[in-house]
Amino acid sequence: MDPRLLVIAGAAFISVSAILFRLSGVSAGTAAFFRCALALPVLVPLARWERHRAGPRRRAGVDVAAGLLLGVDLVLWGASIDRVGAGIGTVLVNVQVVVVPLLAFAVLRERPSRAFVPAVPVMLGGVALAGGLAGHGGGPDPVLGMLFGAGAGVAYGGYLFLTRVAGRGQEHRAQPVLLSTLGAGAASVAVGVPWQGVDFTPGWPALGWLAALAMTGQVCGWMLIGAALPRLRADAAGTLLLLQPVLAVVFGAALLGERPGPAQLAGCGLVIAAAWLTGRGSVHRRDDSGMGSRARGDRRAGEHADRTTVP
């Protein structure tokens, strides 16, 4: 399947997270912990079946490290929303669109496309409008909220980059999500308990919403995105994930009866246009032959020689 479609489908699952978090009525630390804990009963049997079929997961330490960054992101993002408001918080966490390509260039020497650099301010402006920034003022502590939001965006970008690197050349899907979920749960407890506190008994209604959050945002969303990231350029993957706030506007209107204003609709249009422009030609051809690139080149050279040799 086209990895761009997988990312869009994963973004759709994750975009419901804010709605489910709001309906649960719990703190950011509590939501981060239960988002991970309630995903384990599904991820563990999937990972065991996958291990039996495809063998043990290599680069498991990278998956756990990625999960630690995800847990930090989840707690910081919630703290940012409380202090600076949802609009600015949504923009700040999406600095991942810059962080992921920068890391890919610094570590892997992967250059972004020509269309990406001029599209970045357009994308962030569109996210700002889609997040309702035009109609909301700052929160009670905007400076601290912006620092938390920027930290969440950097941690989120690091998580995406490590997930992309760890998934290269491997067919595992459930095992990396399980390992990163364990890391995220540990980080949410380590950061959330001393800072915000984690309510381990939030009540049955809240647990129901948190279970839905775990299935959509943690299991389905990250398994789809994790399957696609190694097959996409870093800039295109980060750009397509900006569709999350756009889809959140759509689901908010469909599920909660929210009515997006003209500025939000314009922002959604900008993000979609930028995602389309930067997503063209962004798919890495997948190697299903079991051979490396040099071997494939030798084979193709031999085939070419066979076709051109005069009998």
| CB within 8 Å of 289: residues ≥ 6 apart | 295, 296
**8 contacts 228 by C-beta, under 8 angstroms:** no
pLDDT in tens, 28-58: 889 889 999 999 999 999 999 998 988 888 8
Task: Give me the domain span that covers residue 81.
Answer: 3-308
pLDDT in tens, 243-296: 888 888 888 788 777 777 888 788 888 888 877 877 665 565 544 333 333 334
pTM, entire model? 0.81
Please give the torsion angle defined by the CA atoms of residues 237, 57, 221 and 275, in that order, rounded to the nearest 10 degrees. 10
Picking from 94-103, 202-211, 247-256, which range would have the lowest pLDDT averaged per residue?
247-256
Query: How many separate domains does the chain show?
Result: 1
pLDDT at 217 over 80: yes
Rg (CA), the chain: 20
Give the pLDDT mean for 52-68: 89
Instruction: Report the DSSP beta bridge partners of residue 232.
Output: 283
